Amino acid sequence: MMNRLIQRKRDGYACQDHPDVVFVFVRFYDSLDYAKKNEPKHKLARLVLHEKKKISRKQRKERKNRMKKVRGIKKAVLKLLAKSKIL
């Protein structure tokens, strides 16, 4: 099945090497640029197409504790501020 709107083909098959049946789904993209744009980052990291930025444990904990002190829309604003400082 080729979907022109999302520019990818999804293929699925059953792998019966084990006693349990395992279903595998594969995505074929038209271009590498489109795959980089739309594929989840953890899947790109497996293919060494995306590098996760290392944030120290202390920074993550401080951010978590700052987030606990606010509620609602202010939380989203705090996330944006934290992201801009880290990047």
Q: Which residue has the higher pLDDT, 1 or 51?
A: 51
Highest mean pLDDT among 2-6, 64-68, 83-87: 64-68
Alpha-helical segments (H) within the chain: 32-38, 41-46, 57-68, 73-86
pLDDT band at 58 (very low <50, low <70, confident <90, very high): very high
pLDDT band at 28 (very low <50, low <70, confident <90, very high): confident
Mean pLDDT on 42-51: 87
Give me the sign of the Cα torsion angle 71, 73, 76, 78: negative
Determine the longest span between alpha carbons in the chain, in angstroms.
51
Q: Which two tokens stand for residue 80?
A: 């944006």
Of 18-27, 44-53, 58-67, the poorest mean pLDDT is in: 18-27
pTM, full prediction: 0.47
Q: Which residue bears the tokens 């795959």?
A: 35
